[in-house]
Amino acid sequence: MTQRSQNARRHAPRLAMLAAAGLLAIGSATAATVTLNETGSSLLYPLFNLWVPAYTRANPGVRINTASTGSGTGIAQSIQGLVQFGASDAYLSNAQMMKNREMLNIPVAISSQMINYNVPGFNNVHLKLSGTLLAGMYDGRIQYWDDAAIKRLNPGVALPHHMIVTVHRTDGSGDTFMFSQFLSFTDKMWEQKVGYGTSVNWPAVPGAIGANGNPGMVSALKTTPYSVAYVGVSFKGQTDKDGLGEAALQNRAGKFVMINERTVPAAAAAMVPKTPKDERISMIYAPGAESYPIINYEYVMVKLNQPNAQMAAEIKKFLTWAVSPTGGNSLSFLKQVNFLPLPASARSLTLQQISKIH
């Protein structure tokens, strides 16, 4: 054996001890901080990314991981206890609540959904679309952009004879939940054949593509001419920048409306008073002449029972901050993602739920 390898052997235990000591040092240095993990809704993700740096700067004892994985993941991983916060645009179903009684559905803001499209030459025209038309596109009854049914709602718009490429989410998604619920509430055939959920049995339409998350939806729209997709409003800055079309949607009163500072609050005003104590409610297709038809509560799914008091305290503190009008619900955050703050009545229900966490 050479001198060098003997030396190496003599030093090996010492090196190993040093390495172990290093690991221990890292471990103990961070023992005082609490790590909270968030995953789920890609619609809520941009807001979390605004919240977390601001919150952790003021509260250095807590680390919050964020991830954009889709509401389905948020729901699943929060139920399994893999994350503390499951972000979701959809509330838990009765079956999920029966099986997981310790789950809380905590609204933190009000959001809405756009129908975007990429029809070259027509992206600056706000095409008028209805739930029935969209259901027809997504189940294959309407295949071309110049279909008579589309032209009827859009007289004078010379739409091209091109196949419609419908884009849907492949991940379990609250946006899919909202969109399919809108189609179910407006189209009998869709309700019977497909229904609604965070993942639905998409009718087999030739050429239809699946995309991952809201970002994937925007990218697919951008790169695929003649496509149509549903996109959460927190991506409006991006869809506008990419020059994508945004549809005016027919509401329950038969009017065509777009997302703005009147239509979303109008829909919220019609639905928020109906919110039950556990705050699980659909706000899709609200009545009212001005109401925008696809709005919802943005939820954070949290477990009632936390493993320890420190964790519970940090979770309550963060959520209370998140819904406070001077904290996370201030317009300086929400304006950037086009969300509405929680109305006072919803906030008090939410605070009641937060106070139960222990």
Partner 1 sequence: MRTSDALFRTTVTAVAALIPLVLLALLAFLVHDSWPALRFNGFDFLTHNAWNLGNQYGDPVTVHGELVMPGASFAILFLVVGTLASSLIALLLAVPLGVGAAVFLAEAVPPRIRTYASLLVELLASVPSVVFGLWGYVLLIPLLSRHVYPHLAHWLGFIPFFGPPSGSGYGLLTAGIVLALMCVPLIAANLREAIESTPQALREAGLAVGATRFEVVRKIVLPRLRLPLIGVSTLALGRALGETMAVLMISGNALNILPQNIYSPISTMASFMVSQLDSALQDPTNMAVHSISEIGLALLLLSLVVNAMARLLVPRDLGA
Partner 2 sequence: MSALPDGLAKARALASERRLRARALSSWIGWAASALAFGALALALLDILYVVFRRGFSALNWQLFVTPTSGIAGGLLNAIEGSALLTFGALLLAVPVGVLGGIYVSEFSRDPFARTVRFVADVLVGVPSIVFGLFGYLTMVTTLDWHFSLAAGCITLAMMIAPYMLRTTELAMRGVPAELREAGYALGASQANLVARVLLRECAPRVLTGILLAMAISMGETAPLIYTVNWSNYYWSGHLTHEPVAYLTYVIWSFINEPFASAHALAYAAALLITLFVLAITLLARLSISRLAVRRNP
Interface residues toward partner 2, by CB under 8 A? 23-24, 26-27, 30, 35, 37, 39, 45, 48-49, 52-53, 63, 65-68, 80-82, 211-213, 215-216, 218-219, 222, 235, 238, 242
Angle made by CA atoms 215, 217, 219, in degrees to the nearest 5: 70
Query: 35 contacts which partner out of partner 1, partner 2, none, CB within 5 to 8 A by kind?
Result: partner 2
Q: How far is the CB of 253 from partner 1 (least distance, A)?
A: 26
Q: How far is the CB of 311 from partner 2 (least distance, A)?
A: 12
Residue 40 or residue 265: which is nearer to partner 1 going by CB? 40
Residue 76 or residue 108: which is nearer to partner 1 going by CB? 76
Residue 54 or residue 269: which is nearer to partner 2 going by CB? 54
Residue 11 or residue 99: which is nearer to partner 1 going by CB? 99
For residues 39 and 35, give the distance between their C-alpha atoms in angstroms, rounded to a whole number: 13
Query: 305 contacts which partner out of partner 2, partner 1, none, CB within 5 to 8 A by kind?
Result: none
Task: Name which of 316, 320, 357 is nearest 342 in CA terms.
Answer: 320
Residues 6+ apart with CB under 8 A from 136: 142, 147, 149, 187
Residues that bind partner 1 (CB under 8 A): 69-70, 72-73, 75-77, 80, 93-96, 98-100, 163, 165, 168, 170-172, 195-202, 204-212, 220, 223-224, 227
Whether 249 and 183 have beta carbons less than 8 Å apart is answered as no
CA dihedral 275, 278, 284, 290 (to 10 degrees): 20
Query: 210 contacts which partner out of partner 2, partner 1, none, CB within 5 to 8 A by kind?
Result: partner 1
Whether 234 and 46 have beta carbons less than 8 Å apart is answered as yes
DSSP state of 43: T
H or E stretch at 256? strand 256-257
Task: Name which of 23, 74, 24, 27 is nearest 48 in CA terms.
Answer: 74
Query: 163 contacts which partner out of partner 2, partner 1, none, CB within 5 to 8 A by kind?
Result: partner 1
Query: 275 contacts which partner out of partner 2, partner 1, none, CB within 5 to 8 A by kind?
Result: none
For residues 7 and 13, give the distance between their C-alpha atoms in angstroms, rounded to a whole number: 11
Residue 52 or residue 266: which is nearer to partner 2 going by CB? 52
Residue 80 or residue 355: which is nearer to partner 2 going by CB? 80
Q: How far is the CB of 296 from partner 1 (least distance, A)?
A: 14
Q: How far is the CB of 195 from partner 1 (least distance, A)?
A: 5
Residue 25 or residue 163: which is nearer to partner 2 going by CB? 25
Instruction: State how beta strands 165-169 and 128-129 pair.
Output: unpaired
